[in-house]
Amino acid sequence: MLRTRYSKFVLWGRSMGAVSALLHSITYNNPSDIIMLVLDSPFSSFEKIARELAMRRVKVPTFIINALLDLIKANFKKQPNNPFEIDLTACEECKISSLFVYSEMD
């Protein structure tokens, strides 16, 4: 394990990482070693961001992307940490100071 002299941290995440940072702080009951969250362009729907990324990066018809996402969603339903069913209402429980960063395009 890496030993440092630091005991307090600012946790930064972008897009999916921003939501992960936020969910981490809630899951571990607002850990005292995290003094601030910097949440850069967090998403509110994994399905929406997956669809947008697929449509930007892959040159296939929309119906194929939709079919593949439906297949992926069906496989994730069996998993305990299903990214398609993230409950962001728990974010109200976060007591850590947070800076939300976004652009007009988000």
Residues ≥6 apart with Cβ < 8 Å to 82: 76
pLDDT one digit per residue (tens) for the chain, 106 residues? 567 788 888 999 998 889 888 888 888 887 888 999 999 988 878 888 888 888 888 888 989 999 999 998 888 887 777 777 777 777 788 889 999 998 877 6
User: How confident is the model at residue 11, as a pLDDT?
Assistant: 92
Residue 5 has which token pair? Answer: 């002299």
User: How confident is the model at residue 30, as a pLDDT?
Assistant: 78
Residues ≥6 apart with Cβ < 8 Å to 37: 10, 11, 12, 13, 21, 22, 25, 94, 96, 97, 98, 99
C-alpha 100: how far from its chain's center? Answer: 13
User: How confident is the model at residue 29, as a pLDDT?
Assistant: 84
For the sheet with 34-40, list strands across it. 9-14, 34-40, 98-101
User: How confident is the model at residue 12, as a pLDDT?
Assistant: 94
79, HSE (Cβ side, Cα atoms, 13 Å): 11
Concatenating the DSSP letter of every residue in 47-83 gives HHHHHHHHHHH--S-HHHHHHHHHHHHHHHTTSSS-G
